[in-house]
Chains A and B, each alone.
Chain A
Amino acid sequence: MSSEFSGTDDFLFVKAKKGYYEKPVGRPGNNYVAPKIDYEKKDEDGDWASKEFVTQVSDTASFLSKKELLVENEIFYVLSSSVLPNNPDIEKSLRKLSADVLSYLDSTHNRLLVIGNKEDLTDLVEQKIPKYVENTFHMLRPLNLKDHFALTLQNWQYGKKLVMISTLPNLPQEKNQQYLIEIKNFLINQGADVYNYEFLDELFVIANVDINILKKLIDSSTLVYKVFGLPEAITKKTAISKKLSVKPTIAEPSLFQFPKYDVNKLPIVVVLDTGISKIPQLDNLIVSRSSFINDNLDDEESGDGHGTPISYLVSLGEEHGNPTARIISHKIWSPNIIDRVFDGLMDGLNRFSTISKIFVSSINFKEPLDDELLTKINTKIQENNVCFISSAGNLPEREIVALIQNNQRHQSYFQNYPVASPSDAPIVTSVGAIAKKTSNQKSIRSVSNPNDISPFSRCAFRNRPLFDCKKPEVVEHGGNVNFDTTTGNLSTAGVGVTSVSKNGNVVDHLTGTSFAAPIFARKVAGILTKYQTKIKNAETLKAISIISSKKYSEHCSGFGEPQPIIGCDHDHALYFAEGEIKLEERKGRTIGITYHTIDFKVPGTAGYFDVCVVHSDNFKKTNVPSLNTYVRIDVNNWSTKSFLKPKIGDRDAKTNVKILRYYYDRKSMKNIWTLRITPKIIMSIIPSLQKDIIVRYGCAILLSRKSTKSSVYSISNEISQMELSGEND
C-alpha cells in the first residue's frame, strides 16, 4: 500500500480572498430579435395551450375563483414561457401579472410555477392583456389533478393510501406552516389518519387518506401542491448467498492505519440504515441508536446484518484498525417496513445535521425517486452543509447470471443500469464498487480482476447525463463475484468485503456497493478527525478525498478510489481553501462578478499540481434535480499574468466536482500561483432570482514531485522555507 497520503506533513490552510469587477452588458443591435422557444406540450397541459391566451387567463381566473383561498386573493398557476429564461420581458410580464416565481418546473427553465393575485388576473382580462405578456408566454393555466399527483399515484382511483402531501414549494416558512396546519385540520375533520413527526412537520403532512377526501381538498382549496406515495427501498446487499469454499488469493485490501485518537474526540457519522446491533467490537463507539420506523433498534437485516457491518466499516474499516468515527445509528428500513426510507432520510438529516457532518446510507430506492423528492433531498443536504454518502446500488443476481451466461463482458452492460436513488442526486456522493480479491480455483472464475469495477456495481445517470457530472463519483472495495463454470452458480465467499456481522463474527463474503459506501465514509471521517473544525464546508471534505483518488479505469469508476488521506509524505503537499461566493449579478447596464482567489507557493522540486474544486449552490427554485451552477477555474503565476491552461481537465466543465492538472513541459513550476474561482450559472434564470444564489465550495490543491529523489526536504518543508526566506514575495 502506498503511503503517499499518510505522511506526517499536515495540510496547509489558505484563506481565500474575495475579488470583484464589473463588465458592461452587451447591448443587442437594432435588428436583434430575441430567440423564441417552442412550446413543449406536457401531459398535464391537456389542450390548454391551444386556447387564445386571453381565454387561458380568464378560464384560469374563473377556475380559481371557485376555490377557497387561505390568504385573500393568493393563487397559484403554471406559466410556460416563449422566450429565453433571462429575457427581461419575463420579469416585466410577471410584474404585470403581480406574480412571483415559486419554482421552475423543468430543466430548461421555461415552465414556471408562480404565486399571483386573483384580482389582478381578473382585472387583466377586463382591461386588455398587453402584447408583451402574450408574446412572453405560450400558456397560463391553473394546476390540475395531473400536477397534484406524483406519477406513481396517477392511477389511484379508490381506497386509502399512506401519502406525503406537500404545500407549494418555497413559500415563506410561516406561510408554509399555515398551509400545512390547514391541510392537517381538513384531513382530521374528514376522519383521515394524520401523523405527527417532530422533524418533518415543516416539510409534509403524512396521512393515511382516501383518494376522494384528497380530491375534495384539492378541488376546494389551493392548499395542496403535490401528493406523493411512499417510495419503497431495498438494502442493496447483493442477494448472492451460495457460499462456495474459496480462499482469496490476490490483492488484499489496504492495510493503511489511521492514527489512534481519543475516542471522545472522534467525529460522529450518522448511519441511516437497518439499525445496529450491540457488538463488543463497537463498544464506546456508538453514541445513540434510534429508529424512525419501529421500536426495535437492532439490525433487522437477515443473515450477517447490514447496518452493523456498515457501522463497523465506517469506524474501524476492513483493516480492523484504529477507530476514526463514532456512530449514530438511525434506523430507516426493516424487512417489514420498506416504504419509509424517504421520510426517514429527511428525518435523519433534520435531526442530526447539527451533530454530524457525515451521513452514510446504503439503502437505495427500488425505482428512481420522483424528481421533486430527489430535489428535496438535494436541497436539505445543501442547506445542512453535510457530506451525504450513498451506495450506487447493485444489479440483481439474476441479471448478472444472465449477462455472464450471454458472454457479456461486465463492463459493457453497466451503462444500462444507472445509479439508484438517492445516489443520483447531484450533491450526494455516490460510491460504486471495485473488486480487490479473486479466486484461485480453476473451475471458479472471479468475474472482475482486482481493481476492476465489481460485476454488480451501477453507473451513470438515469434518462440523461447531468452535464459533465460523474456517477458514481468514487469507487471503493465492494467485493467480487465468483462464477462456477461447472454449475453456473454465483458465490462471494472469500472475495467479499471483510467486516463484522450483527452477531459479532468476522465475515469476509459481504458484497455490494452497500459496503463500499462506508469504506469511503471512514476515509472522510479520517480527515475530519484530524482537522476537526478547521474544515467548515462539506465540499472541502469531498475535495480532499477525491484529489487523492487513484483511477484504475475510465469505465464507471468516477474519479477512482480515494486513498486514506490525512497528511502528506515527503513528495506531496496539500493546500485547502473554502468559501462562499455570490453569483454574478446584473446591475443596470453592468454585470457585477464576484470571485475568490487562492494564493499558494510551489517550490522548485514540485513537478505538477492538481486542483480539485467541489461546489454546491443554494438555488432552491426548481423542481428538477439538476446542476444549476458550475465554477470556472483560472490559474496564473505571479511572474506571467496570463492564465495557464490545465494539461488535464476542462476548466469550464459543467460539473460540481472538478479536477484539473497543471504543469509546464520544460519550465520549473517554482513560483507563487493564484487560483481564481468564478461561479457561473448553467441554465439562465430570471435575474432577480440569480442575485440570491450563493455558491459554496471546497478546494484542494495537491503538489507532487515528478521524481521522488529530487530533495532531501519534503515539499511542505520547502514551502515553509519559502515563507521564511520571503522568497517570491
Chain B
Amino acid sequence: MIDHTKILKSKKRLGRHEKLIIDTLSDYFEKVGYKVLPHSRFDIAWGSILSDVDLLLIKNDALTLVEVKSSKDNLSRVKKQFKEIRDYVDYVYIATDYYPKKWPLDNTGRIVIKDGIIDFLKKPEKIEQTPTVNSIMSLKKSDLTTMLGLQKRQTNNITKYVMATQLRKEKTGEDLRIMLKTAVTCNLQVVNDSCLEYSAASN
C-alpha cells in the first residue's frame, strides 16, 4: 500500500502555463477518485530536474505520472524524461494545452486541455517491462540494501551496480517494479535519510 503522505515535495518553480494545466487536471482527477499529488519528487539519487514530477496520481496502488508540456515548452524533451522515469510508474500521460502535430511517444496517454475541455486523446498503456539496471542503480544505496534484505554493513564494500544486477537476477520484473515504486515514494520499510528529512519538514 503506497502511503501518499510520504511522497516528497518538489522544490522546482512552476511556469504559469503549466500551473493552469496542472490545476485543471488536479481538480478533475481528484473528483474521479485519484489521490492527486502535484509538484512531487521521487526519491532518486539524480539531479532534481529528472526526479521532479508535475503531477502524480495514485489509485489502487497504481502510480500514474502526468508530464505537463505547455505550448511554450519543448515536447520532444518528453522522450528522454519518459525513458528515465518509466520504471517507477505504471502509467504515463503527456498533457498539453495545444494539439501537437506529432506526439513523441506511442505508449503514453495523451491529454489536451483547450477551451476548458479536457480531451483524453489516448489511453496510456500499462508499463510492464523489467526495470533496467540503470533505473535500479538510481535508487539510494540504502534502498537497494533494504530491497536485497541485507544490513547496511553487509553492503559497505559492494557497488550499486552489483546490487542492481543482483536484484534483477533475484526478482521477477513485476516484483522489481513494485519495489521501485515503493522506494521512490518513500514507502520502503526502512526509510532513508532524504525521506526522513521531508517527514521532519512536513511535521
Contact: A291 with B115, CB < 8 Å? no
Complex CA gap A283/B114 in Å reads 11
Contact: A198 with B91, CB < 8 Å? yes
Taking CB atoms and an 8 Å cut-off, the chain B residues in 18-55 that contact chain A are 28, 31-33
Complex CA gap A290/B124 in Å reads 12
Contact: A355 with B120, CB < 8 Å? no
A552 close to B (CB within 8 Å):
no
A729 close to B (CB within 8 Å):
no
Contact: B120 with A289, CB < 8 Å? yes
B125 close to A (CB within 8 Å):
yes
B148 close to A (CB within 8 Å):
no
Nearest Cβ on chain A to B150's Cβ, whole angstroms: 29
A278 close to B (CB within 8 Å):
yes
Contact: B118 with A354, CB < 8 Å? no
A198-231: CB near B (< 8 Å → 1, else 0) gives: 1000000000000000000000000000000000
Contact: A354 with B117, CB < 8 Å? no
- Contacts A287-B28, A288-B28, A354-B33 given; indicate if A297 touches B120 (C-beta within 8 A): yes
Partner of A278, one of B33, B62, B115, B126: B115
Contact: B120 with A290, CB < 8 Å? yes
Contact: B115 with A295, CB < 8 Å? no
Contact: B125 with A196, CB < 8 Å? yes
Q: How many residues of A are counted as interface, with CB atoms below 8 angstroms from the partner's CB atoms?
A: 17
Complex CA gap A289/B121 in Å reads 8
Complex CA gap A119/B116 in Å reads 62
Nearest Cβ on chain A to B32's Cβ, whole angstroms: 5
Complex CA gap A602/B150 in Å reads 75
Nearest Cβ on chain B to A272's Cβ, whole angstroms: 14
A352 close to B (CB within 8 Å):
yes
B152 close to A (CB within 8 Å):
no
Contact: A288 with B62, CB < 8 Å? no
Taking CB atoms and an 8 Å cut-off, the chain B residues in 60-115 that contact chain A are 62, 91, 115
Contact: B126 with A198, CB < 8 Å? yes
Partner of A288, one of B115, B118, B125, B128: B118
Complex CA gap A650/B87 in Å reads 62
Complex CA gap A352/B59 in Å reads 13
Nearest Cβ on chain A to B110's Cβ, whole angstroms: 8
Complex CA gap A284/B114 in Å reads 11
Complex CA gap A297/B114 in Å reads 14
Complex CA gap A286/B122 in Å reads 18
Partner of B62, one of A198, A283, A289, A295: A198
Contact: A284 with B116, CB < 8 Å? yes
A351 close to B (CB within 8 Å):
yes
Contact: A196 with B118, CB < 8 Å? no
Which has the most chain A C-beta neighbours within 10 Å: B32, B59, B118, B121? B32
Contact: A287 with B32, CB < 8 Å? no
B3 close to A (CB within 8 Å):
no
Contact: B32 with A289, CB < 8 Å? no
B119 close to A (CB within 8 Å):
yes
Contact: A297 with B115, CB < 8 Å? no
Residues of A within 8 A of B59 (CB): 198
Residues of B within 8 A of A354 (CB): 31-33
Complex CA gap A627/B118 in Å reads 39
Nearest Cβ on chain A to B130's Cβ, whole angstroms: 14
Contact: B118 with A287, CB < 8 Å? yes
Taking CB atoms and an 8 Å cut-off, the chain A residues in 256-279 that contact chain B are 278
Residues of A within 8 A of B28 (CB): 287-288, 355
Partner of A287, one of B62, B91, B117: B117
Which has the most chain A C-beta neighbours within 10 Å: B62, B91, B116, B128? B116
Residues of B within 8 A of A288 (CB): 28, 117-120
Nearest Cβ on chain B to A167's Cβ, whole angstroms: 17
Contact: A291 with B32, CB < 8 Å? no
Residues of B within 8 A of A290 (CB): 119-120, 123
Complex CA gap A284/B125 in Å reads 30
Contact: A286 with B117, CB < 8 Å? yes
Contact: B32 with A196, CB < 8 Å? no
Residues of B within 8 A of A283 (CB): 115-116
Residues of B within 8 A of A351 (CB): 32
Residues of B within 8 A of A198 (CB): 59, 62, 91, 123, 126
- Contacts A196-B125, A354-B31 given; indicate if A291 touches B120 (C-beta within 8 A): yes
- Contacts A198-B91, A354-B31, A355-B31 given; indicate if A289 touches B126 (C-beta within 8 A): no
Nearest Cβ on chain B to A405's Cβ, whole angstroms: 47
Taking CB atoms and an 8 Å cut-off, the chain B residues in 125-151 that contact chain A are 125-126, 128
Q: Which residue in chain B gives the minimum CB-CB distance to A185?
A: B174
Q: Which residue in chain A gives the minimum CB-CB distance to B120?
A: A290
Contact: B115 with A289, CB < 8 Å? no
Partner of B121, one of A196, A284, A297, A355: A297
Complex CA gap A352/B33 in Å reads 8
Residues of A within 8 A of B33 (CB): 354-355
Contact: B62 with A355, CB < 8 Å? no
Nearest Cβ on chain B to A447's Cβ, whole angstroms: 40
Residues of A within 8 A of B122 (CB): 295
Complex CA gap A394/B116 in Å reads 35
Nearest Cβ on chain A to B96's Cβ, whole angstroms: 15
Q: Which residue in chain B gives the minimum CB-CB distance to A293?
A: B123
B138-181: CB near A (< 8 Å → 1, else 0) gives: 00000000000000000000000000000000000000000000
Residues of A within 8 A of B115 (CB): 278, 283
Complex CA gap A291/B28 in Å reads 16
Residues of A within 8 A of B125 (CB): 196
Nearest Cβ on chain B to A136's Cβ, whole angstroms: 41
- Contacts A196-B126, A198-B91 given; indicate if A289 touches B117 (C-beta within 8 A): yes
Residues of A within 8 A of B123 (CB): 198, 290
Contact: B31 with A297, CB < 8 Å? no
Residues of B within 8 A of A284 (CB): 116
Residues of B within 8 A of A295 (CB): 121-122
Residues of B within 8 A of A287 (CB): 28, 117-118
Residues of B within 8 A of A355 (CB): 28, 31-33
Complex CA gap A297/B117 in Å reads 12
Nearest Cβ on chain A to B179's Cβ, whole angstroms: 17
For the complex of A and B, list the 4 residue pairs with the smallest distance between their C-beta atoms, beginning with the closest: A290-B120, A288-B118, A354-B33, A355-B31
CB-defined A-B contacts under 8 Å, sample of 26: A196-B126, A196-B128, A198-B59, A198-B62, A198-B91, A198-B123, A278-B115, A283-B115, A283-B116, A284-B116, A286-B116, A288-B28, A288-B118, A289-B117, A289-B118, A289-B120, A290-B119, A290-B123, A291-B120, A295-B122, A297-B120, A297-B121, A352-B32, A355-B31, A355-B32, A355-B33
New A-B contacts (16) at CB < 8 Å, excluding given A198-B59, A287-B117: A196-B126, A198-B62, A198-B123, A278-B115, A278-B117, A283-B116, A288-B117, A288-B118, A288-B119, A289-B117, A289-B119, A290-B120, A291-B120, A352-B32, A355-B28, A355-B31
